[in-house]
Amino acid sequence: MSNEDKILTILEQIQSEQKQTNQRLGKLEAGQSKLEAGQAKLEAGQANLEESVDRLHGSVAFIENDHGKKLGALLDGYSMLSENMRDIKPIVEKTALDVAIVTASVSVHTDKFTALKAAI
């Protein structure tokens, strides 16, 4: 085999390997494009999530403020009712005692009235 044939064979091998390298490079470039497109989608999704989280933070702050005011008013009302109950409790207890005395007195008078009526 002559030197020219050897050079030709080597050039054909190089050309064949170059085709394979070009094919692999094409696949890598296509894969890279897909990765870049996927990354762009992820970045857009992250931006949407950040925007949603910001809106959510605003909503939570509004709810906390609104409910805080309502809970404060509710606690004030409960405190007022509790104070009123403390003020009314002795009056209710005295009234209950008075009712018991009146009931006992009515019972005694009823018995006396029944006895007098029977004596007539």
Tokens, residue 19: 């085709």
DSSP 2: -
Residue 120's pLDDT is 79
Per DSSP (E only), the strands in 1-120 are: none
The answer to whether residue 109 is domain-embedded is no
pLDDT digits (tens, 9 = 90+) for 43-73: 999 999 999 999 999 999 999 999 999 999 9
Residue 14's pLDDT is 95
Domain that holds residue 4: 1-88
Model-level pTM greater than 0.75? no
The answer to whether residue 120 is domain-embedded is no
Which regions of the chain are under pLDDT 70? none
Count how many domains the chain has.
1
